[in-house]
Structure 1
Amino acid sequence: MSLLDKIDKNRLPAHVAIIMDGNGRWAKARGLGRGEGHREGVNAIRRVVEAASKASVQYLTLYAFSTENWNRPTEEVKGLMDLMVYAISRETPDLKKNGVRIRSIGDMDRLPAYARTALGECIRETAEGTGLTLVLALSYSSKWELSTAARNMAADVVKGVLEEEDIDEETFAGYLTTRDIPDPDLLIRTGGEQRISNFLLWQCAYAEFYFTGTFWPDFGDDALYEAIIEYQGRERRYGKTSDQIER
C-alpha cells in the first residue's frame, strides 16, 4: 500500500503551509553554488504541488521569499527573482490545466516590476481553477503583515469606517492578507531548523508543527504524505481536554 493510500481522506488538513528551507545547504553538500540549490528547489515545488493535489489538500502555502531575504547578497536576490519569473512562466500552463489557482501574499510593491508582471499574469490565468489553491508568500513576513493590518485598522477608525469597540479577533483577521484563506492546519519546515521564522504567526496559533531534517530539494511526494499521516495521528484540542473532544 502506498503512503497516499494510507492517508485518511476524512481527516485531511485543509491547509498545509511549508517553510522551504535547505536549498543552500543542499547545494553546498554537493559542492555546488547556492543558485543550483534554488533551481532544484523549484523542481521540489512542482513535485509537492502535484502531491498535494493528489491528496486533495485544498490550500498549500509556500514561504518562497521573506522580507528578511532582501538582506541577502544582491546577486542572489536577483537570481531568485529571475528564477521565480522563469518558474512561473514554465509552470503556468500546467497549473491552469490541472485546476490549480495561484494566490500571493506579501509586500508585492517591493518586487521588481518584471516579477510583479509575471506573477500577476499567472494569477489571472489560473483564477478559474477549482482544485488546489497555491499561495505564494513573497516578500512576506508576519511582523510586516501584522503591523500593516494594525495601521490600516487605525486609519479606518480615524475615518469613522470602524468603531474602536468593534475591534475583536475576527475584525483583526479581516485586515490580514490571508483574510479569505483558512488558517493552516499543518505547518511543515524542511532543513532541520525548528522555528517558524516570522511566518504566519497569527494564522498558525493552532497549527500542528512538523519539522524534518530533509533539505527542501529532496522533499517530495512521500515526504509530504508522511507529514500528513503524522498529523492525522495527533489530537487537536484547541484548548479543550481530551474528554471534551471525545464527546
Structure 2
Amino acid sequence: MPADLNNQITTDNGNPRHIAIIMDGNGRWAQKRLMPRVMGHREGVKTVRKIVEYCAKQQIEVLSLFAFSSENWRRPQAEVNTLMELFMMTLQSEVDKLDENDIRLRIIGDKTAFSDKLQAKIAQAEAQTCNNRGLTLNIAANYGGRWDITEAFRQIAVKIEQGLLQASDINEDLVNRHLSTADLHEPDLFIRSGGEQRVSNFLLWQMAYTEFYFTDALWPEFDEALLSEAIDSFRRRQRRFGHTGEQVIKQS
C-alpha cells in the first residue's frame, strides 16, 4: 500500500475506484417464490446487467463480481452444471454489448477446472475487450482468496528456484505483483447482498483496507438505488490507512 495518503484518493466525484461485490441470495430469492434455484441465478444475471451499466455511467474504474467460488463445486451437481451453462450463455450474449460500451472483461480464478469450450469462450471474450478503456469488469470464477495468495507464492518460489529472485526480495509489493489482480487498484468498497456478513474467501489479500457494506436485499432485488446507498455510505466514511483523523483532514 502506498505510504502517501494522497495516492488513496478516490475518483473526482467521490466514488470508489474499485467496487467488489458478493452477489448472494439468488437461490433463496427463487425458493421464496417456490421456484427452482436456477431461476434465481437467471434473475441475478439481469441484476448484473443493471449494476454494470450503473457503474459504467458513474465512472467506476473496476467492478469485481464473485460469480463462482472454488467452494461452490460442493453444491448439488445439477446446480453446478446449470451455473456453468449460464456462465457460457452469458459470455456469448453479453460480450458484444460490453465491447460496444468500452468495458474490459477480466476473468480471475483457476480456469483450468472449466471445460475446454468454456475456457476458449473466456479467452475469446477477454481478447475481444482487452483494449477497452472504460469500466473493467472483473469476474471471479472458480476463485478463492487463499488460492490467489497460494498461487502468488508458488510463482515467487519458482522464480527463487530459477535464481531470478532471492528470499530477501519478498515484500508486500512483490506479492501484489503476483496476484490475479496485479494491475488493478485494490477494492475501496466491498458489498455483500443476501444478509450474510462475511467475505467468504473473496479477495482476502486485496481487501485489507476495504470499506465493508452489507445489505439484507437478495441479489435479484439489488438495484441501482441500493448501490447508490452503498456508495453514499462509503463517501461518508473517513479512510485513515493507519493515519490519525487529523492527518487525513490536513492531506485532503
Q: TM-score range by the shorter chain?
A: over 0.9
1: CA distance, partners of 2:108 / 2:95: 18
3-state DSSP of counterpart to 2:207? coil
1:230 matches 2:239:
no
Determine whether 1:210 maps to 2:210: no
Q: Per-residue deviation at 1:9?
A: 4.7
Correspondent of 1:126 among 122, 126, 129: 129
Structure 1 SS opposite 2:142: strand
1:10 CA drift (Å): 2.7
Deviations along 1:45-74, one digit per CA (max 9) or x if unpaired, are: 000000101111010000000000011111
Comparing 144-153 with 15-24, which one deviates more in the overlay? 144-153
Q: Does 1:150 align with 2:184?
A: no
Alignment correspondent of 1:27:
30
2:241 and 2:49 map into 1 onto residues whose CA distance is 33
Any stretches of 5+ residues in structure 2 without a counterpart?
1-10
Q: TM-score, normalised to structure 1's length?
A: 0.95
- Listed as ranges, the gaps of 5+ residues in structure 1 are 1-7
Distance in 2, matches of 1:59 and 1:234, equals: 20
Task: Name the CA distance, whole Å, in 2 between partners of 1:10 and 1:33.
Answer: 41
Residue number in structure 2 paired with 1:51: 54
1:244 corresponds to which letter in structure 2? Q
Of 104, 107, 111, the residue aligned with 2:110 is: 107
Deviates more, 1:221-230 or 1:15-24: 221-230
Would you say how many aligned residue pairs link Structure 1 and Structure 2?
A: 240
TM-score by length of 2: 0.93
> Which deviates the most, 177-186 or 150-159?
150-159
Query: 1:88 corresponds to which residue?
Result: 91
3-state SS of paired residue (2:213): strand
In 2: Cα distance, 1:9 partner to 1:215 partner: 31
Query: Take 2:157 and 2:134, find their aligned partners in 1: how far apart are those partners?
Result: 36
Q: Percent identity?
A: 44
Cα separation, 2, equivalents of 1:48 and 1:88: 16
Q: Which amino acid aligns with 2:199?
A: I
